[in-house]
Structure 1
Amino acid sequence: KTSSDSRVSHHGPNLPPCFLNDVFAALREGIDDNGELKNQTLTLFGICTGSANSAASVLTKLAKESSRNQRNGMEVLYLSGELSSEGGENGSLLLTFDLPHSHPLKSNPVLLLALESLLPEENLVATFTSHELQPNTQTVCISGEIQYIILTGKKPEVKVHHKWRISAETNPHFMKQKFRDIFISGKSGSNISVTQLLLFSGERRTETRHAQASSTTSS
């Protein structure tokens, strides 16, 4: 029921409904009875423990909303993406994600990357940097148990950029090839093999509608 309870905009591959069900199930089951993120949830979404992380608080909010707000659940937008370039002194990758012009961003979006190629028995720390992220630089801890990468986007400005360019690098640098394989699955070419989703909070969308209604009434 999860997929039918959420507004889904397709921009990219058509995925089976069970894929979205799995994403929302991971969110729904990610918090304990006290409303805190479970340790396995932190690992599943690449949240680094022991440091301040904006993604952790956002993930907590998404998990709580998923568990209690089934019918008016989050809006999901599928994106397309590619590996634009790679290299530089730090061996960074430049990932580009296309946002459809027909879908204006109304709140702080959350970029969720669902991984297809994992790193068994490997652990690394990845840094993602972009003007479209808030904060601009975010850290992800990647292990063999990770299934998703979550990055928090910036609140849209008047001029919306329909291309998000995100620089990604890993530490240690000699893990660059394995890090690249996460996104390309070891294949040649530039098409990203991970699935890219933008999540929008249903609560924020409701608040926006209420604000617009109040403004119309008062005018």
Structure 2
Amino acid sequence: MRMLLVEDEPEMASALRAVLSRHDIVVDRAADLGEAEAMAEACGYDVIVLDRQLPDGDGLSLIPKLRAGGSRVPVLVLTVRSEIADRVAGLDHGADDYLSKPFAFEELLARLRALLRRPANLQTEVVRSGRLAFDFANREARIDGEILDLTRRETLVLEALLRRLGRMVQRDALMEAVFGLDDEVQPNALDTQVSRLRRKLADADSGLILNGVRGIGYLLRETP
């Protein structure tokens, strides 16, 4: 999952990124509305977490702009404002959910999972191919019921490939799925993650083969 976090407080943003990254969520941060709008237009995000009190205005003003541009990305609004009128205003502006500060990280994670289960963003919860079963809700891969031990980034690569199983996935799309804009990425970082995943799938006799086309992308398919 790739998330845009619109939050001007560096400490809050850093804490959220640290927690979310442990749950296989790639987090890009925007510090104000202008930056958020540009990033939302340039990148395909699965969800946006949006603070209301931003240096250049009310975060809610971003949502109508996104919707007017055709974006249906779910938006969860974070705010210190907890009055009913404030929550109603957020929902009326097009927000999909509303969470008041302070909040428990566990609740934020649960709300993000719920947003991604809604029909417009629905991904079959478990995909089976070869001997592998991948649970999108829990981001867990199993071979004949046994958990396949993958790192966070290997899991993100596998998830992105399974979303387009049997079709070529461009390198740029994989990079977006696995690495955040602020990550320091070495030139061969993606190839390293793919190579490790390929080896683990082969060692586990998963019934899947992961092929690459140099400079273009990667293809995951069932073994003939």
- TM tier, shorter chain? under 0.3
Larger radius of gyration: 2
* Greater RCO structure (CA 8 Å; 6+ sep): 1
TM-score, normalising length: structure 1: 0.26
TM-score, normalising length: structure 2: 0.25
Question: In proportion to residue count, which structure has more helix?
Answer: 2
